[in-house]
Amino acid sequence: MNRTSQSDVGGTSRRNFLKGSTAAAVLAASSAAKVHAAEQNTIQVALIGCGGRGTGAAANALSVQNGPIKLVAMADVFEHRLRSSYENLKKGFANQVDVPPERQFVSFDGYKMAMDCLNPGDVAILATPPAFRWVHFTYALAKGINVFMEKPVTVDGPTSRRMFELAKQSEQKNLKVGVGLMCRHCQARHELLERIRDGQIGDIILMRAYRMAGPTGSAATGPKPPEMSELLYQIARFHAFLWASGGAVSDFLIHNIDECCWMKGDWPVEAIAGGGRHYRGNNVDQNFDFYHIEYTFRDGTKLLMDGRTMPGCYQEFASYAHGSKGLAVISTAGHTPAKCRIYQGHRLTRQDMTWSFPPPEPNPYQLEWDHLIAAIREDRPYNELERGVQASLVTSMGRMAAHTGQRVTYEDMLNCPHEFAPDVDKLTFESPAPLQADADGKYPVPMPGLITDREY
């Protein structure tokens, strides 16, 4: 295979919920034929999406210590990203990176060629913007390839319904599927969960979470450079565009939302939300600068989620569970280390602290790969996709509530007919972008209360 040339340009049940909540994500065993790499001693990996997160995931994969593993193929639509990723990985894992130019693919269908370099039971890393997740996973499923996919895995109702069906098919084929909600693999959070289930904070009465930071990723984006195609500009700045990523809510807030739902042992059934845009300057992205989401669980308990990407403001990056007996800190100042703690009462004071997880904490980004590769080598049922779709859908539910100004239920979000990029599987370098700018180079933005049945 030859390298493709392209110029370098810029409502589930509690039982089902808990079934998917462990680090091993053990699901009901399938009667299908076994698909694993235990017989072939070396597990081969293909990286599809060579940005920072994809490169990080590949490094974690190559760091697993339970047997030989090699990177053999890479694909992206940006040659400079693939080249940079290759150079960094080759520097860190010289003997495990075997990706000659003929197995480096720069094209929209490069994911097919990269996966064609694998055998059934090998692993594909899907780390492109999430709009492409269902497309790439469909091909992996057909070829019997195990998958690690980054979060979020869906950004709208139609793709969520599609991925729920693909999840069922992958379970039937006994594929191993990891989803990049790595907080579920954190040892500190696991011990905290057991303590919450043991009643150490009593009944959960309120949850709250914050990701309040300065400008993050490409959430705030200026006008398109004149030399760049509209499509590649939107993919390169994917946090700015709802079709590509679900925007700041889906990409940034999903971890806090997911870890709170995990501790609660349920998914919210509805959301109301607000948000707004300030100090926009020449930014043309579709995001609000701040979001406040109130989720409601089936028992009436609330989860309050605050997100902000504005400079000069108070910052906090943490999640909390308030119980009838005390307070649990789920995460402290980012994803890792979590520094989980329990307090009697609701004051975060040293004298009220009754438990804390002892340092150091193993890195959950590495643990999620350790668990996935162990499941492949031991041929244990392991599939996180259904739960990953649920987390993505609940996050989108809050986003849609903010963007429309309406109360949005889980079923509303799941059944919303607005698919942001229905022809994403047909894109080529010559395709028009799924979102078009107006004459002033501006893109449609959410208009709460005015546009209420879709987000833009």
Q: In what order do the strands lie in the sheet with 316-323?
A: 353-356, 341-344, 326-331, 316-323, 204-213, 302-309, 290-296, 270-276, 408-409
Q: Give the domains, in start order, of the chain with CATH numbers.
A: 14-184+366-383 (3.40.50.720), 186-362+394-426 (3.30.360.10)
Q: Taking 90 as the threshold, does the pLDDT of residue 15 lie above it?
A: no
pLDDT of 35 above 50: no
Q: Could you read off the pLDDT of 93-134 as tens digits, one per residue?
A: 999 999 999 999 999 999 999 999 999 999 999 999 999 999
Between CA 177 and CA 356 the distance in angstroms is 32
| Region 149-159 average pLDDT | 98
The region of weakest confidence among 31-35, 169-173, 331-335 is 31-35
Calculate ∠ Cα 404-409-413, nearest 5°.
Answer: 70
Measured CA to CA, the distance from residue 345 to residue 325 in angstroms comes to: 6
Give residue for tokens 């009754």.
Answer: 354
pTM recorded for the entire structure: 0.91
- Least confident segment among 31-45, 106-120, 358-372: 31-45
* Mean pLDDT, rounded, for 230-254: 98
Phi, psi of 244 (to 5 degrees): -80, -35
In this prediction, residue 267 carries a pLDDT of 98
From residue 230, give the alpha-carbon distance in Å to each of 169, 420, 440, 444.
Answer: 35, 16, 14, 15
> How many residues are listed for the chain in this entry?
456
**What does the mean pLDDT of the chain come to?**
92
Cβ–Cβ under 8 Å, residues 182 and 259: no
For 290-315, what is each residue's pLDDT tens digit? 999 999 999 999 999 999 999 999 99
Rounded Cα distance between 304 and 307, Å, is: 10
Higher confidence at residue 440 or residue 74?
74
What is the band of 19 on the pLDDT scale with cuts at 50, 70, 90? very low
- Position 331 scores a pLDDT of 98
Region 6-28: mean pLDDT is: 37
Q: What's the mean pLDDT in 241-270?
A: 98
Cβ(12)–Cβ(366) below 8 Å: no
Reported confidence tier of residue 40, pLDDT bands at 50, 70, 90: low
Q: What is the pLDDT of residue 440?
A: 87
In DSSP terms, 75 is beta-bridged to 48, 105
* Across 152-161, average pLDDT: 98
Evaluate if residue 8 carries a pLDDT over 70: no
